[in-house]
Chain A
Amino acid sequence: EVQLLESGGGLGHPGGSLRLSCAASGFSFGSFDMSWFRQAPGKGLEWVSAISGSGVNTFFPESKKGRFSISRDNSKNMLYLHINSLTTEDTATYYCARDSPPESHPFFDIWGQGTLVTVSP
């Protein structure tokens, strides 16, 4: 079964950092680009970052450059998101998702169940 499972969420403090993990199974992980999204409580979806299948190329929207980093370990089928200098606005459920094939326009066909990050003093 194709599956993504996030972990690493929890309580963070302003100015601190967190590392989120996403374990992939059931597909050839290294053959797919992967992305992170987040959803603040009661709000919509927001794309946070993406990484190429090889891990060489990373992508961020302008608003996420600087505090966010993405990485992957294809030998372990693991995807990571590092968030530095946490603020209360980072409070959200974070989802990892599998990207569409490279020849396609972007879409995301497999999503994890999400991990909740709460940033509070």
Chain B
Amino acid sequence: QSVLTQPPSVSATPGQKVTISCSGSSSNIGTYSVSWYHQLPGTAPKLLIYDDYKRPSGIPDRFSGSKSGTSATLDITGLQTGDEADYYCGTWDNSLRAYVFGAGTKVTVL
């Protein structure tokens, strides 16, 4: 049972938008910034979003993050077949004294 709750899967057709939610509590998302990672099949995780909404260099603005209270959201607009991957939210949890992840959301491009 993950500390952060994500939907197991989301899907959409190319060009559409998907939204991935990440729900936590006051000991994690409510206090600390959220980061998002994607993991293409058979590869290492890659940082997509940090500090709730900032994008590292090279990440297109089709990817955007936001946070409100104890929940965070990742939006992917203009969906592409290359976006098919697992997406994880992560943050620090002050009660567990650990960095925690959601269980991951599989994005499928129909």
Interfacial residues, chain A to chain B (CB-CB below 8 A):
35, 37, 44-47, 50, 59, 61-62, 95, 97, 100, 104-114
Chain B residues with CB under 8 A of A45? 37, 45, 88, 90, 101, 104
Q: Could you tell me if B92 and A61 are in contact, using CB atoms closer than 8 angstroms?
A: no
Q: Could you tell me if A95 and B99 are in contact, using CB atoms closer than 8 angstroms?
A: no
- A35-B104 Cα distance, complex, nearest whole Å: 20
Q: Could you tell me if B50 and A47 are in contact, using CB atoms closer than 8 angstroms?
A: no
- A108-B37 Cα distance, complex, nearest whole Å: 9
1/0 contact string of B43-58 vs chain A (CB within 8 Å):
1111100110000100
Chain A residues with CB under 8 A of B99? 35, 47, 50, 106
- A47-B4 Cα distance, complex, nearest whole Å: 14
Q: Could you tell me if A62 and B96 are in contact, using CB atoms closer than 8 angstroms?
A: yes
Q: How far is the CB of A23 from chain B (nearest CB, A)?
A: 15
Q: How far is the CB of A85 from chain B (nearest CB, A)?
A: 21
Chain B residues with CB under 8 A of A104? 33, 50-51
Q: How far is the CB of B17 from chain A (nearest CB, A)?
A: 24
- A62-B51 Cα distance, complex, nearest whole Å: 25
Q: Could you tell me if B96 and A44 are in contact, using CB atoms closer than 8 angstroms?
A: no
Tell whether A108 pairs with B98 under 8 Å between CB atoms, given A44-B104, A45-B88, A45-B90: no
Residue of A nearest to B96 (CB): A61
Q: How far is the CB of B107 from chain A (nearest CB, A)?
A: 15
Chain A residues with CB under 8 A of B100? 47
Q: Is B64 an interface residue (CB 8 A)?
A: no
Chain A residues with CB under 8 A of B37? 45, 108
